[in-house]
Amino acid sequence: MTSSLWKGLYRFQMQNILKSAGIMVAIVFLVQVVFGVILIAADPGEPIYSNAQESSSVIFCFVLGCCMWKESFHLSMATGVTRRGLFVCTLASLLTLCVVLVPVELLVSLLVNSFLNAPTLFFLIYGQSADVASSFSSAGFAAQGLLLQIAGSLALAYSGFFLGVVFYVIPKWLRVVLAILIPVTLFAGLPSLVLLLPPAQMEALGQTLLHFFSAPGNVTLVCFCAAVLFALLAWIPAHRASLMRNPQPSTATSG
């Protein structure tokens, strides 16, 4: 079963993932090329800027994580793969995606920098404090950015996977409630709570967070810890998931 799992389900997931990722990277690169050509033709003497285009890979990892569960779960139940096997395989697939996609995305960014001024998001945040001239002028700085982006992509991919599993197992009305409640809480509720703090405490909190996140290693560690947390949380609904929306009964056993 283990050999069949990795040769079957893992290969199926990676084929779909890499195909989608390849299309996304090609679109990002072509958009940058077209954008540069248009601006060069419009005003040849002016420098051209394009910032943080690699953030598309981070968003892609989150969206893909949200969509990973349903199709793979139905396939695994039809082929006799256990829930545990599917769960581990999906985590491995998302990890592979992040480890492969981020370097490719940064390579695209390096190519784009040959005709555009296209600093990475990591350079925009940490470039001044690290005293580097550009996104790729220092190998150590670029490696830090690579590791941080992998960690951030993995955290978002696993958080998306967790949400995808949760939304699959809960009733429809609760999915609607959570779809409204989650963004409202993140973008309105939490900022409102922070604003309720006394000015002195708010300033102290801001300084503490600024000092902590000013070190890239701290942010990388937080992202990896968040990825582990979301992976563990995802198993809670995943190991009890059933084919409630599939009319075909399944005899597969739970892992």
Domain presence at residue 255: no
Q: Mean of the per-residue pLDDT values for the chain?
A: 82
Nearest-10 crossing angle of helices 172-184, 139-169:
150
Q: Is the pLDDT of residue 215 over 70?
A: yes
**Rounded Cα gap, residues 138 and 152, in angstroms:** 21
Domain presence at residue 243: no
* 49: β partners: 117
Domain presence at residue 40: no
The answer to whether the CB of 202 falls within 8 A of the CB of 131 is no
Q: What is the total count of domains within the chain?
A: 1
What is the DSSP secondary structure assignment for residue 214, as one 8-state letter?
T
- Structure-token pair, residue 175: 């999915």
Count of CB atoms situated within 10 Å of the CB of 158: 27
Helix, strand, coil share of the chain (percent; to 5): 80, 0, 20
Domain presence at residue 47: no
Lowest mean pLDDT among 72-81, 156-165, 188-197, 239-248: 239-248
Q: Which domain holds residue 86?
A: 2-34+53-238
**Rounded Cα gap, residues 165 and 244, in angstroms:** 13
Domain presence at residue 41: no
Please state, for a pLDDT cut of 90, what percent of the chain lies above it. Answer: 25
Residue 108 one-letter amino acid: V
Domain presence at residue 147: yes
